[in-house]
Amino acid sequence: MNTIFLPATILALTLVSVLIVRSRPLVLKLSCELLLLIVILACLVARGTSPLPSGTELARHADAAWLRALAVVWWLIGARVVAAVVAIVLGHDARSRPARLFSDLLAGAIYLATVLIILNSVLDLPVNGLLATSGVIAIVLGLALQNTLADVFSGIAVGVDRPFRVGDRVTIKDHAEGMIVEATWRSVRIQTEQDDIATIPNSVVARGQIINHSFPTERRAASIEVPTRSSARSELLLELVRQATLLSPSVLEQPAPSVSLKRVGLSTTTLGVHYYAATTSEMGKAKGQLLRQVRRLFRHAGIENGSPPPLSEVLRQTTLFDSLPSEQIEALSRCLANRALAPGDVLFDQGSAGASLYIVRSGVLNVERRHEAGAIERLGRVGPGEYLGAISMMTGEPHPVTVTAETFGSVLEIPRGSLETLLKKNEVLSAALEQAIRQGMIILDGADAARTCDPIDRSGTVLARIRDYLLSSSGRHGVPNAR
């Protein structure tokens, strides 16, 4: 009875320990399993046997069955430890496709060899007939699973070549384009632009042409054509499209976009734009921005109508003044002063006083802010139809930004006095100006600053002070209803 107690106890403790550490971290699991291997080996050696016991050794022991069980457990735990070490050495990473394939295949080979050793050397079972029979079964299974095996070995070949990783955006010619979300033994799963999942067998992947859009960089090149029916000079059309690329935030500045003439007909001129986007997901956004900016610039330049729009139409197309009736638009247009700009010219500098509102009529302007440390932050670019200077004009405070011309262009200057009369008569215009200032504060100070400038804040906000400052010049303390 005493001879059976020790191996039985060790066997029970081993099974309990394996169950407890099964869900623990890998380091703890390996440490526990190595300790179990040492304890079982010590027990077997102490009883005069080994993990490969012979029949003569076990014949002398009354607890031979328990010692065989311990030897079986020793080999199974050893196989688990070796398979785990192999996985670590190869890099068991979800993004490492060849490591997963090789570690799984090697783990299978390790467990198969372990089973054969246990059957032949520990349990003394004949395996020659089993091996012969398994050869026939392997041939039958190979014929039945030839497509699956082709996918598996193709997966190994693709894994060794490593043309992509999980997370890369690829095109497998004639099959699918999208992001790799999973790569298994049999197939590759691709998430397409329509959020569908395309499953492609590895044998098809290995034979197909693979284009990896994420290597060496995720930057993507694209081209569009811009047809226009216009008799305008080709140089003007090229310059307007180049300005459209400057006004599209999703179009990368480097490498610089290129604009060229593609076709020149009797009534139609087609321009080509070659540009880059940061990622594939940005390509659609960049194209949409570019086409909208081209249309806007063409409209403000009068490309389709043959001549630029009159000043009254420029005001009407500006969102700030689109609520004004025609007679007020005409009156305001007579107060405008045109100012031409060349590249590098400063419209106004940060810290300078301002008492006018500026509407961009043509060209592209840079908006920058200079920090106390001397660093210059570019806040963006503005183009035709956009306006500047509202914050300084409404508050009397110095300009918070510097605006310089990046291209040749012109701006329309509206003195504050001309707007005061309109604000007294049009409540909608007053609200639009306040909204414009709020948006400017969002850009300058972020969303938190914008929230503190809510015009209905009981503590008295910047926008409330703007109303008082602007209307105080006429001795009024409120904006009358436009009706």
CB 169 within 8 A of CB 217: no
What is the model's pLDDT at position 452?
33
User: Which CATH number does 311-472 carry?
Assistant: 2.60.120.10
Of the segments 97-101, 115-119, 469-473, 479-483, which one has the largest average pLDDT value? 115-119
Read off the pLDDT band of 257 (50, 70, 90): very high
Asked if domains 161-212 and 220-301 share a fold, the reply is: no
What is the model's pLDDT at position 342?
94
What is the model's pLDDT at position 205?
87
Q: What is the pLDDT of residues 220-242, one digit of tens each?
A: 888 999 988 877 888 999 999 99
Handedness of CA 129, 133, 138, 141 (dihedral sign): negative
As its CATH architecture, domain 220-301 has: 2-Layer Sandwich (3.30)
Domain limits of the chain?
A: 2-144, 161-212, 220-301, 311-472
Of the segments 118-132, 287-301, 315-329, which one has the largest average pLDDT value? 287-301
Q: What is the pLDDT of residues 359-392, one digit of tens each?
A: 899 999 999 988 887 788 888 899 998 888 877 7
* Mean pLDDT of the region 269-291: 89
User: Which CATH number does 161-212 carry?
Assistant: 2.30.30.60
Give the rounded percent of residues in the chain with a pLDDT score beyond 70: 77
What is the model's pLDDT at position 476?
39
What is the model's pLDDT at position 216?
80
What is the model's pLDDT at position 279?
83
What is the model's pLDDT at position 462?
45
